[in-house]
Amino acid sequence: MSLDNQVPRSEPFAEAETVSDARRLRALTHPVRLALIGKLVLHGPLTAAAASELIGEPPSTCSFHFRQLAKYVVVEEAGAR
Q: Please, what are the averages of pLDDT over each run of 10 residues along the chain (81 residues)?
A: 56 56 83 95 95 97 94 81 61
Write down all domains in the chain, each with its CATH number in brackets.
20-76 (1.10.10)
What's the predicted TM-score (pTM) here?
Answer: 0.72
pLDDT of residue 72: 83
> 3-class DSSP state for residue 49?
helix
Mark 41-62 as b/e (b = at least 16 C-beta within 10 Å): eeeeebebeebbebbebeeebb
pLDDT of residue 18: 64
Phi-psi region for residue 55, left (φ > 0), alpha (ψ -120 to 50) or beta? alpha
